[in-house]
Amino acid sequence: MTNAVRTPASPHTPADLPARIQHYIDGSFVDSIDGDTFGVLDPVTNEVYVRAAAGKRADIDLAVAAATKAFTEGPWPRMLPRERSRILHRIADIVESRDARLAELESFDSGLPITQALGQARRAAENFRFFADLVVAQVDDTYKVPGKQINYVNRKPIGVAGLITPWNTPFMLESWKLGPALATGNTVVLKPAEFTPLSASLWAGIFEEAGLPHGVFNLVNGLGEEAGDALVKHPGVPLISFTGESRTGQLIFENAAPSLKGLSMELGGKSPAVVFADADLEAAIDATIFGVFSLNGERCTAGSRILVERSIYDEFVERYAAQAKRVVVGYPHDPATEVGTLVHPEHYDKVMSYVELGKTEGRLVAGGGRPEGFDGGNFVAPTVFADVKPDARIFQEEIFGPVVAITPFDTEAEALALANGVRYGLAAYVWTNDLKRAHTFAQAVEAGMVWLNSNNVRDLRTPFGGVKASGLGHEGGYRSIDFYTDQQAVHINLGPAHNPTFGKQEPS
């Protein structure tokens, strides 16, 4: 049985695409100082549909200067939290009112299925609304010593935050950083991924309409090794928040070290989904199908290693493969599409190289190549390998596409060793009806986040981040507030000063 496909007569191009994509610095759209541009590809045709300004160090310098002036001289850091909150709520309202257009552009630019892109646009609005509320409701610690001393914590915005965002669900992930950075009174320079700059270009108009002062938000497009590198190394940027792959995170860590910058980095993942024999098998299959094939498999928290107890292993593999073959591959704009196109031909070639490797490292039970009916573009059929050994590269390395490896285990101890036996530690999923085992296993697994009998559904108040090679620090809820603020302890004496006396002269 081959994968289900949807083949409309032709790909879809949104109306009113911009003629070019520029930087946005100090309230104005501008070209690069040297005039350089780069081509942005439609992932369905792999043809250049627009050119974007290619920022360099000089462009980053201008953006940082504008953000610095807005921070030191402008009203934004000095507004009451409630005043900033009102503007953030207006931003959320505007994003919600334009969710269909945002989703259309995001889907076209990234290859995400339109229904999933719509969900990401709505989540972006919710990110702003959440931090708009949190910054007003937040409380800080006060410590009292009755009659002697009061100590309290004063939070202050830090300055210019450098935000570097990835190409998977770009608009939503930009909101995830912009929301708390702005809510806490910082100014920002955003460097979006070069593969997907289209939706990021909409932020400027949204912010202007909402009343954000000029200079608070600045955007510089460009390549990571040029614009991104310049932002990380800039001495006027004390904070860098980065989402992307682990090797880039290592370079950022190295380049930020001389300035001792604050870093928050959510990096790669190779997350296990552990299915025990007592699990609800139908729910586990549905969740693990969704967990690796949604967002085209281009998700950091994808459960791309499925570990299955041997007594149900054969049944699981058979049912999983059959359902994977029914996943609908199609053009991103088609509402029936469940897996669209990968973002870029470079990434398509990477994923396909792992597919070919997997044919030597496991038993191919679904997919394994380009789906029928799609001779061009970056389409990959949902691909499932069974009987994958733990030393296989498709077990160990992040593929970041619609490819999954299934491996059997016999004991809980073996399952835990397999789950922890990679360099990553972002997420884990555990399926069992044994409550004691669920909690014990969750605490033993090396992952920043664990879902028990659930797919990736996250409360915005909880911390998001990984361990090992999957990241540095956590964001989400108060962890984001912590990252984007300096916490100053203020100590107040309430009684007579009680100081040790050094060198006091004896009375004569």
Residues assigned a catalytic role: 266
Determine the length of the chain. 508
Q: Which residue's entry shows tokens 């290693």?
A: 305
Phi, psi of 465 (to 5 degrees): 165, 175
Class of residue 501 by CB neighbours under 10 A (exposed 0-12, middle 13-18, buried 19+): exposed
Map residue 481 onto helix, strand or coil.
helix
Residue of 203, 240, 200 lying closest to 221 (CA atoms): 200
CA distances 200 to 30, 204, 208, 234, 320, Å, are: 15, 8, 14, 22, 37
Question: SS in 3 state form for 65-83?
Answer: HHHHHHHHHCCHHHCCHHH
CB atoms within 10 A of CB 34: 12
Strand partners, 263: 240
Report the interhelical angle of 170-183 vs 81-97 (nearest 10°): 160
**H-helix segments, 43-198:** 57-73, 81-97, 99-110, 114-137, 170-183
**How does DSSP classify residue 507?**
P
Strand partners, 485: 157
Class of residue 133 by CB neighbours under 10 A (exposed 0-12, middle 13-18, buried 19+): middle
